[in-house]
Amino acid sequence: MRLVVLSFFIAAMIASSTRANEADARLAFEEGTLLFENGEYTKAAAAFREAYHLNPTWKMLYNIGQCEAAAGHYTLAMDAYEQYLVEGGDKIDAATQKETKAELLRLKSRESYRVGTVAFEKGEYEAAAMAFRSAYQKSPHWKVLYNIAQSEAAAAHFGLAMEAFEKYLALGGDNIMEERQNEVEAELDRLYKRVGFVDIKAPEGASVFVDGTERGTAPLPGRLAIVAGVEHDLQIVQDGRDILRRKIRVNGRQAISILVGEDNNRAQVKLAPPVVRQSLDKSKGKTSVPTKKKAGPALSLKAKWKKRMAPMGIALMATGGASVVASLITGAVALKRQNDLEEPCAGAGCLPKYHEKNDSIGTLSKTSNVLLISGAVVAAGGAVLFVLAKKRFGKEKVVALTPAVGSNSGGIQVVGRF
């Protein structure tokens, strides 16, 4: 941003104004300059307007426009710039004229964008789409295409939404964050199920309208996407007259081809091959056409983990089961030794030669308990993983886990159909 230095303005005031007006205008100008430098743009604009009121000069309007634009008052800024161009006329050098006109377009775009945002928040989606399109036409920027697409989709104009989304991806390219790219790709997949396509061949230069909205000029670069299952008004105009006007209707993902002649109001209509959604292959930078294979898309890390849950569950159950079996064996050994020592250790206690064997019984008992508990826990964990995997990938979901406890053993029963 810059302010015009109006030294000549002060000189003009001295020659054409009273001493009082001269002093007031000088103070207003100096106050506006100081306020602008301090970032108080609204107050600066008011000060410059006061100076202009005291002694109008067209260059002051540029300063007013700069202040109002910086304050976000786009309509006031546009008014000031337009008045500046009118009053300055040929006295404005070519470079400044070009710069001011470009700034005017940017401001008009920003104002249209603001109007579109307000309309979208109110749920007025058609009005929002029109405002965002106006903003894009005045100052094209690929980011605005996302707003256009969102508005058109919300207004159930699925074909127009698809075109805007696809153009957004094409122009945004690598500047679009991966998360947003994935979001738009998913939305395009959803929209493809709700549209049909029309391939129109018409005389060169003819304008093609669908439901009153111009969709392009012949030759069209590709098929037009329109809402499926709904009757549309197709109009093709050349040299100010209709060369075709008729109703058309397509089913989801269906495509029709229309050939229009120059000398009549008739058209040849025939079915075209169905349209297949082309998605972006990010690894190669190319588009790939999905095949008819039953296999789904590549699994995410979460899906891969779930895929491995069943074999992991089986392995854990096997490990836990082995541990439980080992506990039974050690328990049986401890029980046998206890039976063998029942008679020698009865009464006053064990003789010294039986002490070592008696101590081993306690060790075996503890080992048996540890193996039993740990085996049961590991087996239970494996059973849970197995059940969850079956719930995720299997058809049967009725599975129950039941604890089983005996006098000398324990475990978990998995009951159900897999």
**pLDDT tens-digit profile of 26-58?**
888 889 999 999 999 999 999 999 988 887 888
What is the distance between the terminal CA atoms of the chain, rounded to a whole angstrom? 72
**Whether residue 13 has pLDDT greater than 50:** no
Dihedral sign computed on CA atoms, order 193, 195, 196, 198: negative
Q: Please compute the mean of the pLDDT values over residues 355-359 and round it to a whole number.
A: 59
Q: How far apart are CA 381 and CA 317, in angstroms?
A: 8
The separation between CA 12 and the C-alpha centre of its own chain, rounded to angstroms, equals: 57
- Provide the residue ranges of all domains of the chain, joining segments of one domain with +: 7-92, 193-278, 306-343+351-416
Q: Environment class of residue 2 by beta-carbon count within 10 Å: exposed (0-12), middle (13-18) or buried (19+)?
A: exposed
CATH topology of domain 193-278: Immunoglobulin-like (2.60.40)
**Whether residue 18 has pLDDT greater than 50:** yes
Residue type, 146: Y
Dihedral sign computed on CA atoms, order 322, 325, 329, 334: positive
Binned at pLDDT 50, 70 and 90, residue 344 comes out as: low
**Whether residue 209 has pLDDT greater than 80:** yes
Q: Is the backbone of residue 348 left (phi > 0), alpha (psi -120 to 50) or beta?
A: alpha
Q: Please compute the mean of the pLDDT values over residues 342-365 and round it to a whole number.
A: 59
Listed range (3-17, 323-337, 379-393) with the worst mean pLDDT: 3-17
The separation between CA 56 and the C-alpha centre of its own chain, rounded to angstroms, equals: 51
pLDDT of residue 323: 72
Q: How far apart are CA 393 and CA 329, in angstroms?
A: 37
Per this entry, what is the length of the chain? 418
Q: How far apart are CA 28 and CA 219, in angstroms?
A: 59
Binned at pLDDT 50, 70 and 90, residue 269 comes out as: low
Q: Please compute the mean of the pLDDT values over residues 280-297 and round it to a whole number.
A: 43
pLDDT of residue 282: 47
- Return the higher-pLDDT residue of 291 and 109: 109
- Return the higher-pLDDT residue of 405 and 214: 214
Matching CATH number, 7-92, of 2.70.70.10, 1.25.40.10, 3.40.640.10, 3.20.20.100 = 1.25.40.10
Q: How far apart are CA 23 and CA 44, in angstroms?
A: 18
Residue entry with tokens 């040299």: 239
pLDDT of residue 278: 56
Instruction: Name the pTM for this structure.
Output: 0.55
Quick: pLDDT tens for 290-322.
444 333 344 444 455 555 666 776 777 778 777
pLDDT of residue 58: 86
pLDDT of residue 175: 94
**Whether residue 147 has pLDDT greater than 50:** yes
pLDDT of residue 322: 75
Highest mean pLDDT pick, 211-215, 249-253, 275-279:
211-215
pLDDT of residue 125: 95
Average pLDDT, rounded, for the chain: 76
**Whether residue 407 has pLDDT greater than 50:** no
Q: Environment class of residue 348 by beta-carbon count within 10 Å: exposed (0-12), middle (13-18) or buried (19+)?
A: exposed
Q: How far apart are CA 170 and CA 222, in angstroms?
A: 15
Highest mean pLDDT pick, 22-31, 66-75, 290-299, 367-376:
66-75
Quick: pLDDT tens for 152-206.
999 999 999 999 999 999 999 999 999 999 999 999 999 988 898 988 888 889 9
pLDDT of residue 397: 43
